Amino acid sequence: MLKLYFNKFRQNKLAKIGLSIIVLLAVMAIFAPKLAKFDPTEQHLVQRLLGPSPQFLLGTDDLGRDVFSRMVHGIRISLTVGIVAVSIAVVIGTILGLTAGYFGGWIDSLIMRFVDIMLCFPAFFLILIVIAFLEPNIYNVMIVIGATSWPGLTRLVRAEVLSLRERDYIQAAKLLGLSNVRIFFVHLLPNAVYPIIVSATLGVGDAILTESGLSFLGLGVQPPMASWGQMLTAGKEYIYMAWWLSLFPGLAILITVLSFNLLGEGLRNVLDPRQNQ
């Protein structure tokens, strides 16, 4: 089965491109201090708004900081926010989806009505409301994005569990007296894992885009930390005289989010059992 998945993934060129870019970004994030020639927070006002050159590969910003160094360190921020936020959403969504699908009845109704209420609010505006009452920093951003991104995953997991709970091996596990926790994590979760993996992969891109939007509005990662959204905010003031301040962070966000979407769609095609028949 693993060989079948691997062969199907190899045939998907766009998914391979997405995975390659993500791996490259991860490597750059790990070795950011070595790749960056300058301290991303170090200011040199005499060198402000210099264009791309051999010394400053992507130019400098309005405070004389090296844009390339800030871009590289910004990868850490974006990937950290994306992975941590999605991890929080996956834990919440998986547990609620398993519980709703397995027990059914009033428990299912209660959880799904709460999911419906959450889905009534546009996610980004809900995040804005919560962030407005909290101190805007990277930790609160990760928690809030994760705590508001689980309803869709809950529905996916619930749908899978509803189709699995009547299977013979689940009924046999109940007759053997296995605990609900063991049935959840040993018998149900491994068989419902494919939509979780796909949703998590796509969710990382969404979380990165949300963090960039919050930082652009001044409600996300705060200075002097380097964030792509924050760099876009600074760049909009000089868009006509220093185009590089907006172009490079914008391209970084576009390419990163697109890479996770390509990988997620590729995994959907590989892991969906209906396409493997």
Q: Look at residue 190 in the predicted model and tell me its pLDDT.
A: 82
Predicted confidence (pLDDT) at residue 252 exceeds the cutoff of 60: yes
**Average pLDDT for 247-253:** 92
Nearest in space to 111 (alpha carbons), one of 122, 123, 97: 97
Predicted confidence (pLDDT) at residue 273 exceeds the cutoff of 60: no
Q: Look at residue 171 in the predicted model and tell me its pLDDT.
A: 80
- Kindly state the DSSP code that residue 225 receives in the 8-state scheme: S
**Average pLDDT for 232-254:** 89
Q: Where are the beta strands (DSSP E) in 140-193?
A: none
The domain total for the chain is 1
Classify burial at 163, counting beta carbons within 10 Å of its beta carbon; exposed 0-12, middle 13-18, buried 19 or more. exposed
Rounded to whole angstroms, the Cα distance separating 179 from 176 reads 9
Q: What is the mean pLDDT of the chain?
A: 86
Q: Which range of residues forms the domain containing residue 265? A: 2-275
Classify burial at 275, counting beta carbons within 10 Å of its beta carbon; exposed 0-12, middle 13-18, buried 19 or more. exposed
Residue 1 banded pLDDT, cuts 50, 70, 90? low
pLDDT in tens, 71-91: 999 999 999 999 999 999 999
Q: Look at residue 137 in the predicted model and tell me its pLDDT.
A: 81
> Could you give the percent of the chain with pLDDT greater than 90?
31
| CATH number of the domain bearing residue 211 | 1.10.3720.10
pLDDT in tens, 158-187: 988 888 887 888 888 888 888 878 888 888
Nearest in space to 101 (alpha carbons), one of 162, 55, 152: 162
Predicted confidence (pLDDT) at residue 120 exceeds the cutoff of 90: no
Q: Look at residue 23 in the predicted model and tell me its pLDDT.
A: 95
